[in-house]
Structures are given as structure tokens and as C-alpha cells.
Structure 1
Amino acid sequence: MTDDAEDHDPSGATVVEWLDGLVTDVPLGPKAAHVRQVLTTQPTFCSYATAAEVAARAEVNRATVIRFAQSLGYPGWPPFQAELRTVHLAQRFDPGRPSDSDGGLLATAFAQDAQNLRALERTFDYATARTVVDAIRDAPRTLVVASGTHAVAANALAMVAASRGFPVTYEDRGGPQLANALAGLGPGHCVVAWSFWQHYRQTTAALRIARTAGATTCVITDTRHSPPALEAQHVLVVPTEGVANIQSMTVAMSVAYGLLAELTATDPAGSRSSARRVSGVWQELDLFAEDEPGRG
């Protein structure tokens, strides 16, 4: 690192503040500005991604990312990334700073989710997403795997897909239940895992076991360098940046419902018929509360 970069002490700063300090006297061209935007809106991804992967999200070439780091006084991408990671990880364990807006951290969280969705529109791998949809549609059995908060989107995908007539089951219990579910997999089956920072070992292991058994393996994750991504055949990368040390599942949920829309569109008549049957069973089980007389 050069003396110019060393002049900026990253301790206690957010990624945005840290970058602001670095670029104060550095004119940024349009391409460099795109790199900066990706760094500020997707710091978790950038903390572990290669220069080429950051370049792809910024819609520039790898050399532009390297030159960006060098223009700020770093020898190249790795030393710049190491400091970025230090700044970002320190902030992930900060309970959050008060927002200047009237909405406080609520408004900050909403704005971050909006940024994440805009980033998704630019960077999402739609071709791979359709491959995942085709794998679910064609599989005689699909197992959806996730743990912790990662299960929010996973459960939505599995539950709605099953209600539309697709043979999709969901497993988040781990241990013997997950082992039994994985033991029944074979060629032609499909596994869809959801895993974000931090990654659960059993999710990674489930993908490895499924792939060995001949099943198609898919993962929705936050970086191609994540342990589960290295075990999957098809990888969808989505941003999960949140505020106040809380990872956001907003984009993951949007991806789940997008995949479901594509999936049901492959058999609209069958999906409608299945939905009607499921609705009838729900009514038969009296699952829904009814308005009380005189209310509403």
C-alpha cells in the first residue's frame, strides 16, 4: 500500500465513508464510478469476489477494477480488498448508527433493499435461473434445503411450488431428517439450496452428497466463492446487504417468487388445477379464520 492509502485510517468508518476518504482528491471516470457503486452497495460480495467478478457486476472489465484500486494508492486488487473486508466486517458487528432521515434506520433499511434490487436487475443470471426452473420442472423429486434465516425464501419456494402440483419438498431440520431426505436422491432428482453469509456446513454437505448421487444441484447464494457455490452445478448470486448487522432476505424472497412465476408458467393449466385442489383441502380443514358477525 502506498503512503496515500495509508493516510486514510479505516477504523470506525463505514465502507462509504472509507471510500469517500480515499477518493477525495481522485477524479473518477464513469467506469470507475460504476466500480465504486458496486463496492458501496455490495460490500460483502466485494470482500470475497475476484476482480473479474466485481468487474462483471460493475459492467466493466477486470483491468478497470484493478486500476481503480491502484488509483487509490494500492498495488492492486488483493491489498485493496483486504482493507475493504476489514472495514466491512467491523461494521457488520456494529449495532448501527442513527440515520439523519426522519425514518431512521427503517428508512435506511428500505433504501438498502431498493439498492439491492436495482443491483439484482443489472447482474442477475437469467439464463441460469431458467436452467434451475427447468431442473425443478423436470425432476421427479426436488429437495429444497436451507437453515436459519436462509430458510425464509427457501420455504416460500417449496411451499408454493408444492401447492402448484410440483413434487417439491423442504427440509430445514438437519440431522437424521436431512440424512433420510438426501439418502433417497438419485439421478434426475434436484436439490435447491439457499445459503448466505455465514454458511451452514450441513447445507454445503447436502449439495455435495446430492451431486455425488447424481442429482442436479442448484444454490442461491451471495458470492460464487461461498462453500456451497463450490459444490453446486448451477449458482445464482444475489445481494443480501442489510443494515445494523442484519442480513436482508428481501432480494432472496424476490428471487424465490420470480422462480415460482417462471415455474408455474411452464404448466399454467396444471398449476391452476393444483391450486384449486389445494384451496379445497385448506377449506375442508377449516384453516382460515372467518370474520365475526358484526365486524368488518
Structure 2
Amino acid sequence: MTEGAVVPEELGSADSYEDWLRERLPVRGLRGKAAAVLEVLLSQPRRASFGSAQELAQLAGVNVATVTRTAQALGFAGWPALQQELRARYLSSLSAGQVAAEHRGTGSPSSRSLRRDLDSLAVLNRRLDESVLLTIAEAMAAARHTVIVADGSYAAVGLALAHNARLAGYPVRAVTAGDAELANAMAAIGEGDVLIAISFWRLYQSTVLAANEARSRGVRVFALTDAASPALASAAEQVVIVPAEGEAFFPSLTAGIAVAQALVTQLAAVDPARTGASIEAAEAMWAKFGLLHRRPTAGDPS
């Protein structure tokens, strides 16, 4: 399967940029100046995705305050939060080559990439709801097993999370090797288990299918993504929105790794005695197998 596989039609309804935006409308819709803002969002997705609130206001013939109120009417804290998801959804509608074209700029590509990652981490730090991470960590701690579904380059986030969660003393497995392994994992999953779906940019079909199958089996499902598809969001108890825009034609995993690290740190704090015992057992086994080039010194290092 190639990165960004298309979600099957039966799970991808209301998943286009326009359908998603219209699904966010309040019951009575938007009127007057707010409706003018909505029209710009629908008719000029690129400019809405990359422009400032002031630019959007000028296009709609309104003031910036109206842009903010429109974003709030659509269920967001304000324009920056709405634009983050608009942009992720707009980019997910493009091919890899088109995404790369959107990110052409002046200066060093590597410097631009680093700056974008720093910006994404700042956004994540401002908007991440820590109570959601606590909910996921407590669910993992109470679960019989936790299965992390992460394919393609996103597997890096899943593998890091699973590795450190096991070190913390919990039965966590990352499924990253393809559809056969995932199908076998889903056949064994059931009530008392947790599934964490990790996917950015254009979602993997198999990830969405796994999340929905797990939910139908009574599994607690959580998702880490940059713009949740309705098919994925409806299966998940909680969705953690993670900035994932890169500077080239592939998504950045920096913020995703940061969330995985924050989550496993929270998990380790759920039962410190269990985690401490697990780490001590691992240290003993590392020493027995001679794994480490530098070994800890016995006694007080001071």
C-alpha cells in the first residue's frame, strides 16, 4: 500500500473539504457577514488555508472580529485553530507533487523545515488538551492489551510509543508491517483492549477500517491525526489533533513524536511502582545480554 491510500467510499462520506466544513455549520446555518466568510472558505480554500485573518476578512468584506466569530460558530476557539484544520484538509486533497509545490520558498529547505517544526511544536503546546492524554494513558494502563496502528512513515511514531510503553510495563504492540498482520491483530482484539490509530495527511484505508472494526468489537479507540476524517473521528473516543505539515512533499513527524513522548510520560506516571519495576527488570536483562556500550556504574555516581 502506498502512503495516503484512499479511504473506501462507505467510510469516506462527508470527508471532502466542502462536506466537512458544511457538517460544522450550526443547525440554523450562518447568516449575513458570517455567511460571507463561509463562502470564501468554500470558494477559495487555498487562500483560506495560507492567508491571515486580515486577508480573509478583506476577501469577505468583513472585519477580523467577524472572522473570529465565524470560526467560533464552526466549533473552534478562533481563526488560528480553524485555519490549522482547514490547511491540513486542503493539503490532504493534493498529490505529493502539488504539496511540494505549495512549499517552495526562498532560503535553505532544511532551515525552512526546522522553522516549520518549531512552529508546529509551539502550536501543539498551546492547543493540546492534557486531559485527553491522561484519558488515553489511563485507558492504556487499564487495558488487557493496546494495539497501535501506524503504517508507512507514521510507523515511526507508533513504534516509539509502543517501545517506551512496554518499557513502562504495559502490554502494547505496534502493528506496522501491512494488512495481513493488521487483520490478524484485529481478529484477536476485543473488549478490555485499546486501539490507537496514528495517521496523518491522507489517511490509510487500513487504519480507518481497523478503528471502525475495533469500535464495533467494544474496544476503546483513540486517534492521533492532523485532520480527523469523519470515518475515523466517529470511531474514536478521543481525537488528538497533531500539526503534521512538512516543508516538502511528506508530513512532518516531529509533533507526532512529541505527542507520543508526552503520552508515554503520562503513562509512566499512572503507576510509578509498576513502571519502576519494569525498568529495573529491563536494565538487568540489558546487562545480562551485554547490550550497552556504556553501562551504569554501581552505587552512587557522585
Instruction: Note whether the superposition's TM-score is higher than 0.5.
Output: yes
For 2:140 and 2:57, the matched residues in 1 are separated by 46
Contact 1:142 1:190 in 2 (8 A): yes
2:77 corresponds to: 56
Contact 2:191 2:218 in 1 (8 A): yes
Provide closer, same or farther for how the CA distance between residues 232 and 88 of structure 1 changes in structure 2, counting only shifts above 3 A.
Answer: closer
1:94 corresponds to: 101
Cα deviation, residue 32, structure 1:
4.7
Counterparts in 2 of 1:242-281, with a 5 A limit? Answer: 242-281=246-285
Cα deviation, residue 124, structure 1:
1.7
1:44 corresponds to: none
Provide closer, same or farther for how the CA distance between residues 191 and 94 of structure 1 changes in structure 2, counting only shifts above 3 A.
Answer: same
Provide closer, same or farther for how the CA distance between residues 193 and 226 of structure 1 changes in structure 2, counting only shifts above 3 A.
Answer: same
Q: Which amino acid aligns with 1:207?
A: A
Provide closer, same or farther for how the CA distance between residues 56 and 89 of structure 1 changes in structure 2, counting only shifts above 3 A.
Answer: farther
Q: In the TM superposition, what whole-angstrom CA distance separates every residue of 1:189-245 from its partner, at most 9, and x where no partner exists? A: 111110111111111111112111111111111123354223222211111111122
Superposition TM-score, scaled by structure 1 size: 0.70
1:131 corresponds to: 135
Contact 2:148 2:175 in 1 (8 A): yes
For 1:221 and 1:278, the matched residues in 2 are separated by 31
For 1:107 and 1:51, the matched residues in 2 are separated by 37
Superposition TM-score, scaled by structure 2 size: 0.69
Counterparts in 2 of 1:110-149, with a 5 A limit? Answer: 110-149=114-153
Cα deviation, residue 126, structure 1:
2.4
For 1:52 and 1:222, the matched residues in 2 are separated by 18
For 1:20 and 1:59, the matched residues in 2 are separated by 12
Contact 1:57 1:122 in 2 (8 A): no
For 1:59 and 1:97, the matched residues in 2 are separated by 22
Contact 1:222 1:237 in 2 (8 A): yes
Contact 1:224 1:230 in 2 (8 A): no
Provide closer, same or farther for how the CA distance between residues 161 and 27 of structure 1 changes in structure 2, counting only shifts above 3 A.
Answer: same
Moved more, 13-22 or 233-242: 13-22
Alignment of 1:199 onto 2:203: yes
1:212 corresponds to: 216
For 1:30 and 1:117, the matched residues in 2 are separated by 26
Alignment of 1:161 onto 2:161: no
> What RMSD over aligned residues (CA atoms) do the two structures have, in Å?
3.9
Moved more, 118-127 or 162-171: 118-127
Equivalent in 65, 79, 90 of residue 85 of structure 1: 90
Contact 1:15 1:87 in 2 (8 A): no
Equivalent in 166, 171, 174 of residue 175 of structure 2: 171
Contact 1:14 1:88 in 2 (8 A): no
For 2:190 and 2:68, the matched residues in 1 are separated by 47
2:26 corresponds to: none
Q: In the TM superposition, what whole-angstrom CA distance separates every residue of 1:250-294 from its partner, at most 9, and x where no partner exists? A: 111110011111110111122122112112212322333469xxx
Q: Which amino acid aligns with 2:90?
A: R
Greater RCO (CA < 8 Å, at least 6 residues apart): 2
Counterparts in 2 of 1:175-190, with a 5 A limit? Answer: 175-190=179-194
Q: In the TM superposition, what whole-angstrom CA distance separates every residue of 1:34-81 from its partner, at most 9, and x where no partner exists? A: 99xx9xxxxxxxxxxx9624x335479xxxx8xx9xxxxxxxxxxxx7
Q: Which amino acid aligns with 2:74?
A: A
Contact 1:13 1:87 in 2 (8 A): no
Where in structure 1 are there 5+ consecutive unaligned residues? 39-49, 69-80, 292-296
Identity rate, percent: 27
Q: For this pair of structures, how many residues does the alignment match?
A: 251
Moved more, 84-93 or 200-209: 84-93
- SS, match of residue 94 in structure 1: helix
Cα deviation, residue 30, structure 1:
6.6
2:298 corresponds to: none
